Structure 1
Amino acid sequence: MHPPPVRPSAAAVRRVFVPRAFVPLLLCCALLFGTAACGGDSDASPSATSSAERQKFAKTRFVANAGLAAGATYQWIVKPYRDGRFKSGADGRRFALVKAGLAGAFTYNRLKAALRNAKGDPTLAKAVAPLAAGVEALKDLPSKLRKGDSTEAVVGSFDGAINSVKDAGRSAGAEVKDKVPSAGELAKG
């Protein structure tokens, strides 16, 4: 048969079981104090990260809005003007002028948004600050385009504003490329 089980001495029990009882307690304390220590650092980290992220997103939004404005200006204002579609008696003149008027309103809207976006990045804000008055001057020009009034001057104003915004973006490290908006985006403004 089997011999009776041997019982460990009281000293042996203390050596083996006492440290095992403290392990969960030590782990809980380490987690509790470790979490508290990390919590203090988390207050400083998000503000630094979110500030950098805000600047990055400001440039990204600026480039997107300015790119849409540039694409609309070229596609529906500058290109049709160069093709002679705004001239009196040209085939589809009325339709081309209406699209140009919509594109002008869209361009004004996107440029205003781009200027607001630029405020999130100090370098970009400095670069585009002088352009605010030029963009604001575009406000009444879409109606002139729709009517066919002073098309050469109006087209020149839009083209000049877009080129200024592109130059300012380039100087601040935010390269703007033309992105032609869809007809739905154009209609929404």
Structure 2
Amino acid sequence: MPQPVPVRRLLLALTLTCALLVGATACGGSDDDTATASATPSPTGSAEKQKFAKTRFVANAGLAAGATYQWIVKPWRAGTFKKGADGRRTALIKAGLAGAFTYNRLKAARKNAEGDPTLAKAVAPLTAGIDALKDLPAKLRKGDSADAAAGSFDDIINKVKEAGKSAGAEVTDKVPSPSELSGG
């Protein structure tokens, strides 16, 4: 029978996974759709650019919200992150992947918001959210609970949704497929 993994080791593994994923995303990943944008014709009028920026903002923020809800908030509310819970290790690994994915999509959504004057209100919550997510691995290393991290993700996503709604770009959750989540 395998020995249970101590919580500190599990949190360290989760933190390292998040750090590696965020680092790989920052180094080689694309935080917007530049790869596909070069293959498609670019809009000519400024109204079209604004429309595309708002559409991309809604898509990126929706994916971030969906991943956060599905793999971080839902297991957190179900108590899956608690010590001794069935499936805790798997849930924490999925939460780490979802956290890296959410970080990446929020960075892309911020870039989209900067490209549309009506979405300018959404830039501040996005920037604050991205900065808060950047600090989560350090909080986990210091021993802060996974519950606090899950609560942080939930709060950040709710602020982004509210900012988008007030700018006329309502964000709805769109759960990414597991292959999208892992970058495959």
TM-score (norm 2): 0.71
Q: Distance in 1 between matches of 2:96 and 2:167?
A: 30
Q: Distance in 1 between matches of 2:124 and 2:81?
A: 32
**Which structure has the bigger radius of gyration?**
1
Deviation of residue 127 (structure 1)? 3.3
Identity %: 79
TM-score (norm 1): 0.69
Q: What's the counterpart of residue 40 of structure 2?
A: none
**Equivalent of 1:119, from 98, 110, 114?**
114
**Structure 1 residues 152-171: aligned runs within 5 Å:** 152-171=147-166
Q: Which moved more, 1:123-132 or 1:99-108?
A: 123-132
Q: C-alpha root-mean-square deviation of aligned residues, in Å?
A: 2.3
Q: Distance in 2 between matches of 1:142 and 1:95?
A: 18
**Structure 1 residues 80-99: aligned runs within 5 Å:** 80-99=75-94
Q: What's the counterpart of residue 10 of structure 1?
A: none
**Structure 1 residues 26-65: aligned runs within 5 Å:** 50-65=45-60
**Equivalent of 1:135, from 118, 124, 130?**
130
Gaps of 5+ in 2: 1-42
Q: Distance in 2 between matches of 1:178 and 1:60?
A: 14
Q: Please tell me whether the aligned partners of residues 105 and 139 of structure 1 are also in contact (alpha carbons under 8 angstroms).
A: no
Deviation of residue 149 (structure 1)? 4.5
Give 3-state SS (helix, strand or coil) of 2:92's partner.
Answer: helix
Q: What's the counterpart of residue 178 of structure 1?
A: 173
Deviation of residue 49 (structure 1)? 5.2
Gaps of 5+ in 1: 1-47
The amino acid across from 2:87 in the alignment is G
**Equivalent of 2:71, from 66, 76, 81?**
76
**More helix as a share of residues:** 1
Residues matched between the structures, number:
142
Q: Distance in 1 between matches of 2:69 and 2:131?
A: 19
